[in-house]
Structure 1
Amino acid sequence: MQPNWLAQRSYLTPNRIGLSFDEQQWTFQELHQEAICMAEKLATFHVNHGDRVAILAPSRPELIMMIYGCMHAQLEMVFLNGRLSEHELQYQIEDADVKAILVHEQELHKLQADARILTFNTVLTAERTPINIAQEWDDTTTISIMYTSGTTGFPKGVRQTVQNHSSSAISSALNLGLKEDDVWLCTVPIFHISGFSILIRSLLYGMTVRLYEKFGAAKCANEIAQGSVTKMSVVAVMLERILTYMEEHKLVAHPNFTTMLLGGGPVPVDYLKRAAILNLRVAQTYGMTETSSQTATLSNEDAMRKIGSAGKPLFFNHIKIEGATKPGEEGEICIRGPHVTPGYIGKFAERAATEDGWLKTGDIGYLDEEGYLYVIDRRSDLIISGGENIYPAEIENILMAHPNVKEAGVCGIDDDVWGQVPVAFVVVKQPISEESLLDFCQERLASYKLPKNIKFIDTLPRNGSNKLLRRKLKDIL
Structure 2
Amino acid sequence: METQNWLLKQAATQPKKVAVDDGNQQLTFCQLKAIVEDFASRLDQLHPGEKVGLLANNDLQSYEIALAVLASGRTIVWLNWRLADEELQRQMKDSDLAVCLVDDPLWRETMDERFVSYTDFLALSQGSRPLVATFDYDRVASIMYTSGTTGNPKGVLQTFGNHFYSAVSSALNLGLTSSDEWLCVAPIFHISGFSIIMRGLIYGMTVRIVDKFRVENVAAILAAEPVTIMSVVPFMLKKLVAEQEATGRRYNAGFRCMLLGGGTIDRPTLVKCQQMAIPVVQCYGMTETCSQIVALRASDALAKLGSVGQPLFTTQLKLSAKGEILLKTPALTPGYLNLPDKLPAKMVDGWYKTGDVGHLDHDGYLYIDGRLDEMLISGGENIFPQEVEQVYLEYPGIKELAVVAKADPEWGQVPVAFVVADQRVADQQLIEFGYQHLAHYKVPRQYIYVDHLPKNASGKVQRFLLRQKLS
Distance (whole Å) between structure 2 residues aligned to residue 412 and residue 177 of structure 1: 42
| Contact 2:147–2:460 (Cα < 8 Å) also in 1 | no
Aligned pairs (5 A) from 1:233-248: 233-248=231-246
Distance 1:224 1:415, change over 3 A: farther
Aligned to 2:278: 280
| Aligned twin of 1:376 | 369
CA distance in 2, matches of 1:260, 1:155: 29
Cross-structure match for 2:80:
81
Task: State the match for 1:472 in structure 2.
Answer: none
1:195-274 correspondence to structure 2 within 5 Å? 195-226=193-224, 228-274=226-272
Distance 1:133 1:125 in 2: 21
Distance 1:447-1:165 versus aligned 2 partners, 3 A rule: closer
Alpha-carbon distance between aligned partners in 2 of 1:22 and 1:254, rounded to the nearest angstrom: 16
- Whether the 8 Å CA contact 2:147–2:457 is kept in 1: the answer is no
Aligned-partner Cα distance in 1 for 2:90–2:265: 33
Q: Give the whole-Å Cα distance in 2 for the aligned partners of 1:80 and 1:165.
A: 18
Q: Which amino acid is the alignment partner of residue 275 of structure 1?
A: C
Structure 1 position 128, deviation (Å): 4.7
Which deviations, in whole Å up to 9, do the C-alpha atoms of 1:241-274 show, x marking residues without a partner? 0000000011334431111000012222222111
Paired amino acid for 2:95: A
2:10 aligns to what? 9
Relative to the length of structure 2, the TM-score reads 0.80
Deviates more, 1:222-231 or 1:285-294: 222-231
SS of 2:176's equivalent? coil
Residue of structure 1 in register with 2:357 after alignment = 364
Aligned residues: 409
Q: Is the 8 A contact 2:75 2:143 kept in 1?
A: yes
Offset at residue 301 of structure 1 (A): 2.3
Number of the residue aligned with 1:351: 342
1:364–1:380 CA contact under 8 A, matched in 2: no
- For 1:36 and 1:414, the matched residues in 2 are separated by 52
SS of 2:308 mapped into structure 1: coil
Displacement of 1:151: 5.9
Please state how far the C-alpha of 1:309 moved relative to its aligned partner: 1.0
Per the TM alignment, residue 20 of structure 1 is displaced from its structure 2 partner at its CA by 0.7
Q: Is the 8 A contact 1:43 1:129 kept in 2?
A: no
What is the Cα deviation at residue 189 of structure 1?
Answer: 0.6
Partner of 2:319: 321
- 2:458 and 2:149 map into 1 onto residues whose CA distance is 20
Task: Work out whether residues 333 and 365 of structure 1, in 8 Å CA contact, stay in contact via their aligned partners in 2.
Answer: yes
- Retained in 1: the 8 A contact 2:3–2:134? yes
Aligned partner of residue 58 in structure 2, secondary structure: coil
Q: CA RMSD in A?
A: 3.2
8 Å Cα contact 2:186-2:192 kept in structure 1 = yes
Structure 1 residues not aligned, in runs of 5+: 324-329, 394-409, 418-433, 461-477
| 1:63 maps onto 2:58 in alignment | no
* TM-score with structure 1 setting the length: 0.79
The letter for the 2-side match of 1:27 is T
Percent identity over the alignment is: 37
Q: Which runs of 4+ in 1 moved over 6 A?
A: 382-386, 449-452, 454-459
**Aligned with 2:232: secondary structure?**
strand
Task: State the match for 2:42 in structure 1.
Answer: 41
Q: How does 1:85-124 map to 2 (within 5 A)?
A: 85-109=84-108, 112-124=110-122
Is the CA contact (8 Å cut-off) linking 1:20 and 1:210 kept in structure 2? yes
SS of alignment partner, residue 62 of structure 2: helix
Give the secondary structure class of the aligned counterpart of 1:377. Answer: strand
Structure 2 spans left out of the alignment, 5+ residues? 376-384, 391-401, 405-414, 423-448
Q: Residues of 2 paired with 1:251 and 1:458: CA distance?
A: 46
**TM-fit CA distance, 1:112:** 3.3
Are residues 72 and 457 of structure 1, via their aligned partners in 2, closer, same or farther at CA, if it must alter by over 3 Å? closer
1:176 matched residue in structure 2: 174
**Cα distance in 2, alignment partners of residues 159 and 21 from structure 1:** 28
Q: Distance in 2 between matches of 1:189 and 1:12?
A: 29
Seen in structure 2, the aligned counterparts of structure 1 residues 413 and 342 have a Cα distance that, compared at 3 Å, is farther
Letter in structure 1 aligned against 2:14 = T
SS at match of 2:141: strand
User: How much has 1:145 moved relative to structure 2?
Assistant: 0.5
Provide the C-alpha distance between the structure 2 equivalents of 1:11 and 1:203, rounded to a whole number of angstroms.
12
Q: 1:189-200 maps to which residues of 2 (within 5 A)?
A: 189-200=187-198
